[in-house]
Amino acid sequence: MKSFVLLGLGLLVFGLGTPAAAMTSAQKSKVLGWTATGNEIVVEREHLGQLMVDDVAQEFYFETTSTYRAKDGSQLLTYRRGELSGPKHPVWEGAKEAGQLDKFLETAGLMQAQESWLSPDQKSLLALTERTTFSEESRCEVHQRVVLMRPDEAKLYVVHDQVARGEHSASRDLATCPQVKVRAFWHPSSKLWVLERERTRPDYKWTLIPGSLESLEEYADSTFVTSHFNRDLVMSKLEDGVVKDALRDTFNGQLKSGLSKIAQDPSGSKSKVLLMALLFALDQNADPAKKLLKDRSLRELSFLEEGLKAAVQTAVGDVKAATKTINALVKSASSWEELAAVAGVFSLVDLNVSNEIYVHALSHETAAEADTNRAYTAMIQGLIEAGQLNAAQSLIDKLDSLDSAQKLLMVSLNLAYKRPQLARETLETILAAEPGRCAAWAASARMAAMERRMGDALEHYRAAATCNPLLVDASFYVADLELRRGDLKLGKVYLQKFIDHTIGRKSDLARQVRLEWAQQGLKRLEHQGAVLLTTSCFPSNTRTVCQGTVFNTSEETLNAVEARVSAKDKRGRLKTLGSASVDELAPGATATLSVMVDEEPTVMSVGRDPAEHKTNEVDIL
């Protein structure tokens, strides 16, 4: 693997060539696209500022369109656009006439760029990380790295890695830090992209960084790290074959694929019967699972097969039988690894039971001198997911040293306890050293969301979901954020990704609620009319404010669309706490409706009549 260093791309930095007479200067730019040949990048720019003319400051404004070589970003030609306002500027005087640009584009053609961190074909992803430090000389340094993720290769490439330095500040004032913005643009073919880097403080600099998917070998790369501790513990106890492959699919949330594979196993083995029963139970088909448990072949089972049986018993609600089976396993276990594998299986069914079995595994006499690191990590993760944060903190505090995976769990704990500052340094260090560690992107997204940096949160959640689809919460939050900004197409895509890789389980209420919400959400999005996309509630003094985003999926203007906030009583009946409405909602338009209530809300709905309200009835997460 190549080392992560600033790559010698030989790119030119283009700024507004500030003449001696200039006082101030600023620019706005927009990447229009590529010529049809793909050899030139076309950029539209606005120039504004002040020039000293006879010792008097005069404002200027003009627009230009420039072409840059797509291979290396070097500037080719600049053309005038519109009229000059104010004194003549050297860039305006040196630019070619606008008519020449029109003739050039008529001949060369223009493929319009798409400003997005996600490629148009959704097969590649650009993601930005940024961290701010102070050097020993007390100069602020902004470290920026852009990576290109390629899920088909299970790796990423570092396509931009640079440090912008500010002025000296003895007090290390963040106000002295450079202001640097990076934007990403994609060619419609999804094979070419360009980064636009603009620094506005302490001085203005502008850089164009082009790239191609066909020439990635020049960049430093990193393989995706997609740890799944429970799955790995179970897989280590199985021989290669259909059962192992089907169980791996089960851990990946792909129940139908697992069932298909296990059905093709002609052996009729006990493991096949038990795994098929588990798959039915996880897919909410309890009756065939119970029938399989009565199969006459299920006698003299191996240790792991007994564990599978207990998991099926738990999944179908036979807690008494499951408890009896588990107790027998705890007494008969000959090694901690046997119990750890059973605990891994139970992570699919019931987190609390899984964690309890991990306690027995780690307390087994054979665990004292063994390498139990993976089991500790799996249990800490299970405790966090089950909401047992104090227990997870207590366990992680007992570890002498933490590997990267365990450091990320510590980051998760700090974020759960709403301590982002404690999480930041560890997270930035991990991302800098191991940008391919998928869970780090999910943690970074959560931290950004806590700090209300929703744009960064969306892109980092998307990076996490691209890096590892099994980080299902990342897909859920991408869907949520896409729907909030009105992109129904991508919202549907990521809701489906979440559903495809998520299995509901006991002792994980948050995941179960999200799964039900996602399933209902896909159904709502098929409705023609008013559709409730997202909901959120937050405290405001002594009251609660609830907001809902409503979208008009029909081709007609909707009138009197009402948002209603309610609470359920013990019998499940709804009591309206408050409402708000929008008079008109145009086709394809969204509106955010806010309702302030005095009691704790549990349900929000939108609609024009009772039937539509019922379609859009959503539990508030």
Q: What is the pLDDT of residues 504-539, one digit of tens each?
A: 899 898 899 899 999 999 999 999 999 999 899 999
Q: Which residues of 285-309 are buried (b: 16+ CB within 10 A; e: fewer)?
A: ebeebbebbeeeebeebebbbbbbb
Torsion angle, CA of 89/91/94/97, rounded to 10 degrees? -100
pLDDT at residue 73 tops 80: yes
Strand partners, 69: 40
* DSSP label of 570: T
Least confident of 53-57, 255-259, 454-458: 53-57
* Pairing verdict, β 56-69 and 558-568: unpaired
- If one looks up domain 224-399 in CATH, what number appears? 1.25.40
- What is the structure's pLDDT at 264? 84
**Angle 28-31-32 from CA coordinates, rounded to 5°:** 120
Inter-residue contact 584 to 559 (CB < 8 Å): yes
Q: What is the pLDDT of residues 233-247, one digit of tens each?
A: 999 989 899 999 999
Average pLDDT over residues 370-381: 94
- What is the structure's pLDDT at 221? 96
- Distance from C-alpha of 236 to C-alpha of 218, rounded to nearest angstrom: 37
- Distance from C-alpha of 82 to C-alpha of 97, rounded to nearest angstrom: 10
Whose tokens are 């018993």? That residue is 313
- Distance from C-alpha of 462 to C-alpha of 471, rounded to nearest angstrom: 10
- Distance from C-alpha of 249 to C-alpha of 257, rounded to nearest angstrom: 7
Q: Which residues of 15-31 are buried (b: 16+ CB within 10 A; e: fewer)?
A: ebebeeebeebebebbb
* DSSP label of 97: P
Kindly state the tokens that stand for 276.
Answer: 């098929």
Of the pLDDT bands very low, low, confident and very high (cuts 50, 70, 90), residue 541 is confident
**Angle 225-227-233 from CA coordinates, rounded to 5°:** 145
Average pLDDT over residues 28-52: 93
The continuous run of DSSP H or E covering 241 comes out as none
Taken in order 476, 479, 480, 482, is the CA torsion positive or negative? positive
In three state form, how does the secondary structure of 515-536 look?
A: HHHHHHHHHHHCCCCEEEEEEE
Q: 119: Cβ–Cβ under 8 A, 6 or more apart, which residues? A: 125, 186, 190, 193
Averaged pLDDT of the chain: 91
* DSSP label of 14: E
Q: Which residue type sits at 198?
A: E
Please state, for a pLDDT cut of 90, what percent of the chain lies above it: 80
The continuous run of DSSP H or E covering 96 comes out as none
Before 202, cis peptide (omega within 30)? yes
- What is the structure's pLDDT at 8? 30
pLDDT at residue 36 tops 60: yes
Least confident of 23-37, 97-111, 208-222, 551-565: 23-37
User: For the residues of 198-238, what is the DSSP string, one character each?
Assistant: EEEESS-EEEEEEEEGGGGGGSEEEE-B---HHHHHHHTTS
Kindly state the tokens that stand for 577.
Answer: 């706490």
Of the pLDDT bands very low, low, confident and very high (cuts 50, 70, 90), residue 202 is confident
Q: What is the pLDDT of residues 405-458, one digit of tens each?
A: 999 999 999 999 999 989 999 999 999 999 999 999 999 999 999 999 999 999
Q: What is the pLDDT of residues 467-504, one digit of tens each?
A: 999 999 999 999 999 998 889 999 999 999 999 999 98
Of the pLDDT bands very low, low, confident and very high (cuts 50, 70, 90), residue 25 is low
Of the pLDDT bands very low, low, confident and very high (cuts 50, 70, 90), residue 27 is confident
CA-wise closest residue to 341 among 352, 329, 331: 329
pLDDT at residue 23 tops 60: no
> What is the total residue count of the chain?
621
> 573: alpha, beta or left, given left = phi > 0 and alpha = psi -120 to 50?
beta
pLDDT at residue 5 tops 50: no
CATH superfamily of this structure's domain 527-619: Immunoglobulins (2.60.40.10)
Kindly state the tokens that stand for 342.
Answer: 């059973």
Inter-residue contact 608 to 526 (CB < 8 Å): no
Average pLDDT over residues 387-409: 93
CA-wise closest residue to 29 among 182, 254, 170: 182
- Distance from C-alpha of 273 to C-alpha of 298, rounded to nearest angstrom: 8
Q: What is the pLDDT of residues 569-609, one digit of tens each?
A: 888 899 999 999 999 999 999 999 999 999 999 999 999 99
What is each CA distance from 573 to 210, 536, 567, 576, 586, in whole angstroms? Answer: 59, 21, 8, 10, 33
Query: What distance lies between CA 18 and its chain's CA centroid?
Result: 41
Inter-residue contact 438 to 226 (CB < 8 Å): yes
- Distance from C-alpha of 456 to C-alpha of 445, rounded to nearest angstrom: 7
- What is the structure's pLDDT at 24? 58
Residue 430 phi/psi, 5-degree rounding, is -65, -45
Kindly state the tokens that stand for 146.
Answer: 């852009």
List the chain domain ranges: 1-221, 224-399, 527-619
- What is the structure's pLDDT at 54? 86
Please state, for a pLDDT cut of 70, what percent of the chain lies above it: 96
- Distance from C-alpha of 41 to C-alpha of 69, rounded to nearest angstrom: 6
Kindly state the tokens that stand for 524.
Answer: 């709502």
Kindly state the tokens that stand for 235.
Answer: 């897989």
